[in-house]
Amino acid sequence: MKFRAATAAVAAVPLALGLAACGNDKPEATGYKPSAPASAPVATNTAAPQQAAPVAHLNRVSFVPAMTSAIAKQKSWRITGKMTANGATLLTMDGVQTAKPVAMSMTMAGAAFQGETAKFVVVKDTGYVSIPGVTPTGKYLKFKSGANSELSELLDGGDPTKIFKSFNSNVVSVKFVRTETVGGEKLDRYGVSVNTAKALAAQGKKVPAGVPKTLTYSMWMDKSHLVRRISFALGGVSMVMNMTDYNKAVHITAPPASKVVSR
């Protein structure tokens, strides 16, 4: 029962993150296109006032290429996050992830796990999970990615790259909001909207009553277009995820065979 309760609670994360997978098939201009100063002839001996060039912000066409190009250069990063529902913390997460090889090590704790801490390790296409009350203390259950829908949902919920891979050209709109200081660094905040109904339909799910037509993610980027923070709210559930410590040395290994059990 505890395992199903945990997966049901955390399932809200991949559902909302997965909503980015659908939208219009063709990009449309949003009005937030990068711009450059227009050049015009200046009369001889006329001191024309110089105006600063407008800052070039990303739009629906340029957002995904810029984001994917930036993340493709990274070898590792740290992920921290918090999910809240009705004002209470449902879970917190803290972990590291590497791109080559594809691997992740993460802990999740909170009400979703009855106040206890669960541990997850992923190495390539194999996952390992240790949940108090489900697996023996210090032991891990091994499974193949995608072979267990409940465990896959748990892992997907803590993997922000699932969002990046699903965006592609299917984003409905991208709008620059403003520049904000986060963690002492100036970041550009964007609102990235997706079509909720189409996204749910693509997952074979019905559209619940009261769900908005679009779901908007807030995404904060640094000047190199690396995503530093992601947040969204849907159906009373809010999620904030931070990505830090890019390219720091990280070594993730699978648990030894002596700590792996069968379900």
Q: Is residue 42 part of a domain?
A: no
Cβ pair 115, 131 in contact under 8 A: no
Q: Based on the structure, what is the number of domains in the chain?
A: 1
Domain span holding position 199: 2-32+56-257
Structure confidence by residue, pLDDT tens digits, 19-42: 333 333 333 333 333 333 334 444
Does residue 153 fall inside a structural domain?
A: yes
Least confident of 92-96, 104-108, 159-163, 178-182: 159-163
Where does residue 258 rank: exposed (0-12), middle (13-18), buried (19+ CB within 10 A)?
exposed
Whether residue 221 is contained in a domain is answered as: yes
| Most confident by average pLDDT, 42-46, 99-103, 123-127, 134-138 | 134-138
pTM, to two decimals = 0.73
User: Mean pLDDT throughout 92-120?
Assistant: 89
Name which of 16-20, 59-63, 240-244 the model is least confident about. Answer: 16-20
Structural domain contains residue 47: no
For residue 99, the one-letter residue type is A
The answer to whether residue 101 is domain-embedded is: yes
Residue 129 located in a structural domain? yes
pLDDT digits (tens, 9 = 90+) for 36-80: 333 444 444 555 555 545 568 999 889 989 999 999 999 999 999
Asked if residue 263 belongs to a domain, the reply is: no
Q: What percent of the chain has pLDDT over 90?
A: 36
Domain assignment of residue 43, yes or no: no
- Does the pLDDT at position 213 exceed 70? yes
Mean pLDDT value across residues 187-199: 83
pLDDT value, residue 208 = 72
- pLDDT, mean over the chain: 75
> Who wins on pLDDT, 41 or 189?
189
Q: What is the CATH number of the domain that holds 139?
A: 2.50.20.20
**In this structure, which long-range contacts are made by residues 32-41, counting pairs with CB atoms below 8 Å and at least 24 apart in sequence?**
32/57, 32/58, 32/59, 32/60, 32/174, 32/175, 32/176, 33/59, 33/61, 33/62, 34/58, 34/59, 34/62
